[in-house]
Amino acid sequence: QRQVALTSRNIQNYLNLGIVQSRSNLDKNAPGSAENVAKGIANGLSGRIADLNSMSLASMSSLLVEAPVPTVMTSSPSINKIPTTLTNLRSGENNTAGSRDSRKHQRQEEDDELPPPSDMPSLLHQACHLYPDTTSVVLSALRCDPGSVRRRVFTSVSAGTDKTSGDNLSNNGDAQRKKKAKTEGCHYPINIALWSRASEEIIKLLAKEGRDVLNKKDGPEDCNALMNALYRYNPKAAQHTLKMIAILLKYGSNKLLEGTDRYKNLPLHVACLKGCNADFIQLLVQLNPPALCARNFHQQTPLDVAQRSQLCSDDVIDYLQKASFGCFEEQADHLDDVDATPVAVGSGGNVEDDDDDPLASLDPFSL
């Protein structure tokens, strides 16, 4: 029964991954045709699953071994090894150390023939881009190749066309960098899903399985997963972004709040740029108070970014002004404590009143 269940699950993977491959290989200008072909593949594979339920285990394994692997799936070595794995389960060879060494050697030979990881196609990357709302497709791709969640694969996700991209945080609009960002895209599945505005279930699945890549810099703005989510902020879906942030912080760490992009912007800078609401801004300030006084590459604080942004509301600017005042006041008090006891030059270290000093009676706050 376990072998039958495993076989049925693998056939279901064929079903979902076949839809992904058919959609990615067809002309994007004919989405209707792509859907029809995908439905045809789904119906065909569903019929195969029904036929397998009426077969014996031996016939089932024999059918899988003899059946040719579709050409659209030859790019995934994990799918190609499914028939061999099922045959080994039937014969019991997987219980011996010799068979494990043999399969390990076989996998090593297959890996040697593959192109570099950065250039090889990944079903998980394609699934996150083409089906950001279909959990079953992304889950099947992840089960087929679990390591792909941590793999950097070149993609052409159009991520740099947003008018409120990171270019607005720089003083000089670089059209060349904008053009490059359109083809640069994201490389990790989690960031592809974030830029594609994937569902909460998919983001949770990818964040849980790929915790160690959440803080890695990626995407057109060269930032972590938290900032990629903020760059895709949409005022009409503010609650969705808030849930994405909660998921990322749950499976990530507080270092996500300290991450920066290519212009040294913190998450609070990006939130102010994108026009996040006051509740969202207050949450980021509570999680990382020092960010209020932090300056980016152009020496701009979050308040400066908010005042220059056309999307930021007056409530956010008022809140940042009050909160930033307290932050800068603490810094000023710290400087006063350091310079509270000036020592007269030539006095041998003794503090003396110098009536001839023109700066002695000057109020520093009048400058």
Q: Would you give the DSSP letter of residue 149?
A: G
Task: Please state the φ and ψ torsions of residue 189, each to the nearest 5 degrees.
Answer: -55, -40
Judge whether 207 lies within some domain: yes
CA 51/CA 64 separation, integer angstroms: 12
The angle at the Cα of 295, spanning 281 to 328, to the nearest 5 degrees, equals: 75
Number of domains comprising the chain: 3
Confidence label for 217 from pLDDT (cuts 50, 70 and 90): very high
Average pLDDT over residues 50-75: 48
* Same domain, yes or no: 247 and 311: no
pLDDT score of 100 = 53
Check residues 321 and 355 and name the one with the higher pLDDT: 321
Residue 259 has pLDDT above 80, yes or no: yes
320 versus 17: the higher-pLDDT residue is 320
Phi then psi for 349, rounded to 5 degrees?
Answer: 95, -5
| DSSP line for 231-282 | HT--GGGHHHHHHHHHHHHHHS-GGGGG---TT---HHHHHHHTT--HHHHH
In a domain, 43, yes or no: yes
Do 254 and 296 belong to one domain?
no
Residue 347 belongs to a domain: no
Give the DSSP per-residue string, 174-194.
Answer: -HHHHHHHHHH---SHHHHHH
- Are residues 12 and 109 located together in one domain of the fold? yes
Asked if 224 and 216 count as a contact pair (C-beta separation under 8 A), the reply is yes
pLDDT above 90 as % of the chain: 40
Highest mean pLDDT among 48-62, 154-168, 255-269: 255-269
Bigger pLDDT: 324 vs 183:
324
Structural element, H or E, at residue 195: helix 189-195
SS3 218: strand
Question: What does the angle CA 295 – CA 273 – CA 314 come to, to the nearest 5 degrees?
Answer: 105
Task: Assess contact for 107 and 85: CB atoms under 8 A.
Answer: no
Q: What is the mean pLDDT of residues 161-179?
A: 47
7-45 pLDDT, tens digit per residue, is 556 666 655 666 665 555 554 445 555 556 556 555 655
Give yes or no for residue 354 having a pLDDT over 80: no
pLDDT in tens, 83-130: 444 444 445 544 544 555 555 555 454 444 434 445 565 889 989 989
pLDDT at 202 over 80: yes
Q: What is the pLDDT of residue 253?
A: 87
Domain that holds residue 9: 2-113
Per the rule left: phi > 0, alpha: psi between -120 and 50, beta: everything else, 152 is beta
Is the model more confident about 91 or about 213?
Answer: 213
State whether 267 and 334 are in the same domain. yes
Lowest mean pLDDT among 191-195, 206-210, 340-344, 357-361: 357-361
Tell me, what DSSP letter sits at residue 223? B
Tell me the pTM.
Answer: 0.58
Q: What is the mean pLDDT of the chain?
A: 71
Asked if 341 contacts 306 with a C-beta cutoff of 8 angstroms, the reply is: no
Mean pLDDT along residues 324-330: 72
Contact 198, 186 (CB under 8 A): no
| Residue 359 placed within a domain | no
Please tell me the distance from the alpha carbon of residue 68 to that of residue 145, in angstroms, as a whole number: 20
Number of H helices, E strands in the chain: 17, 0
- 218 beta partners: 223
Q: What would the 3-class secondary structure string for 48-101 be? A: HHHHHHCCCHHHHHHHHHHCCCCHHHCCCHHHHCHHHHHHHHHHCHHHCHHHHH
Contact of 17 with 79, CB cutoff 8 Å: yes
Task: Tell whether 121 and 229 lie within a shared domain.
Answer: yes
Residues 64 and 95 in one domain: yes
Model pLDDT for residues 284-302, shown as the tens digit of each residue: 999 999 999 999 999 999 9
DSSP string, 301-334: -HHHHHHH-SS--HHHHHHHHHHHHHHHHHHHHH
> Would you state the pLDDT for residue 134?
94
Find out whether 271 and 265 touch, Cβ atoms under 8 Å: no
The domain boundary, picked from 239, 258, 277, lies at: 258
The residue with greater pLDDT, 36 or 179, is 36
The 3-state DSSP composition of the chain as helix, strand, coil percent (nearest 5) reads: 65, 0, 35
For residue 238, pLDDT over 60 is answered with yes
Residue 4 has pLDDT above 80, yes or no: no
182-194 pLDDT, tens digit each: 435 788 999 999 9
Residues 213, 186 within the same domain: yes
DSSP annotation of 103 reads: H
Q: Which is more confident, 219 or 330?
A: 219
Do 246 and 213 lie in one domain? The reply is: yes
User: In this prediction, what percent of the chain has a pLDDT beyond 70?
Assistant: 48
Is residue 273 pLDDT above 70, yes or no? yes
Together in a domain, 97 and 15: yes
Q: Which residue has the higher pLDDT, 103 or 49?
A: 49
Q: What is the pLDDT of residue 65?
A: 38
Contact 232, 197 (CB under 8 A): yes
Q: What is the mean pLDDT of residues 198-225?
A: 95
pLDDT the model gives residue 146: 92
Residues 238 and 319 placed together within one structural domain of the fold: no
Instruction: Return d(Cα 193, Cα 92) in angstroms, integer.
Output: 40
Cβ–Cβ < 8 Å for 308, 272: no
For residues 204 and 243, membership in a common domain is answered with yes
